[in-house]
Structure 1
Amino acid sequence: MRKNSILPIILIAFIGLATQLLYRDPAIVSSAGIVQTAASKHYIDTTIEQAFKQKRSEVQVTGSGTVITILSDDLKGSRHQRFILELETGLTVLVAHNIDLAPRIEKLSVGDTVRYYGQYEWNDKGGVLHWTHHDPNQKHYHGWLRHNGKTYQ
């Protein structure tokens, strides 16, 4: 094969890779660079379930769940928007989204789907998902929530 015939192939591959990186969905490629596909979604929820069963905390997770309860905001210390997600596995998780560091999810309703990237903390009620926002101190992964096509971080 001649050098001139390889160049177009390399150029096409480079353009394809650049397009994926520029237009990536944060729900698919996490800030840690871990690629999640639709096929691996159940694994992510199972990771939360395993962390719950093993009483593990500080576990980075990404996935999605259905809002089953909307709670009042926690106004003590840093303010947090709170709601409960039910994962595909049936486990429920409290989401504590810091609204002093990230925008509140507007028009959130029971039955809505929320995608997430954050840190899981164990408790006997199912666990808490937090760090769903940027970290101004650069000590944690930047987390996020996605609702109706809008990302909150």
Structure 2
Amino acid sequence: EAVLKQAFENEQSDIQVEGEGTVWKILPDDNKGTRHQRFILKLSSGQTLLVAHNIDLADKIKGLKKGDKVAFYGEYEWSEQGGVIHWTHHDPSARHTDGWLKHDGRLYQ
């Protein structure tokens, strides 16, 4: 979480990060263009992160609810609200580091 805190404070982006948070809010899926499952995680530090998980390339986390724990490995992009985690999936073109989400013992990539 120290890396995420520093990235947020320094307004840095394009950083590969790993962590875990608690689902704070479930947002509607973004179905415009490439589809993304969206939810907000709250880290133990209090920082919030929007997770934008590409559900055209990876399975959607079914049954996700507020209070669930989700681990992540993906790319951090700075935002005023805390940041966005994306690239939480396998890159079929092998040009980007593969990411993942883990929920309830299952890996989504």
2:67 to 107, 111, 116: 111
Which of 121, 127, 146 is the equivalent residue of 2:77?
Answer: 121
Distance of 1:121 and 1:137 partners within structure 2? 21
Q: What residue identity is the alignment partner of 1:113?
A: K
Query: Which runs of no fewer than 5 residues in structure 1 stay unpaired?
Result: 1-44
1:63 and 1:126 mapped to 2: Cα distance? Answer: 14
TM-score, normalising length: structure 2: 0.98
Which of 52, 64, 73 is 1:96 aligned to?
52
Q: Structure 1, residues 59-110: CA drift from partner, whole Å, max 9, x if none?
A: 1000100000000001111000000000111100000000000000011010
1:54 and 2:7 matched: no
More relative contact order, 1 or 2 (CA 8 Å, 6+ apart): 2
Counterpart residue identity of residue 101, structure 1: L
Number of residue-to-residue matches in the alignment: 109
Name the residue aligned to 2:43: 87
Paired letter, 1:76: K
Q: Which has the larger radius of gyration?
A: 1
- % identical aligned pairs: 58
- Higher helix proportion: 1
- For residues 145 and 78 of structure 1, the distance between their equivalents in structure 2, rounded to whole angstroms, comes to 18
Deviations 1:100-126 (A, max 9, x none): 000000110100000000000001111
Instruction: Tell me the SS of whatever aligns to 2:2.
Output: helix
Distance 1:117 1:139 in 2: 16
| Ranges in structure 2 where 5+ consecutive residues have no aligned partner | none
TM-score, length-scaled by structure 1: 0.70
In terms of fraction of residues, the more strand-rich structure is 2
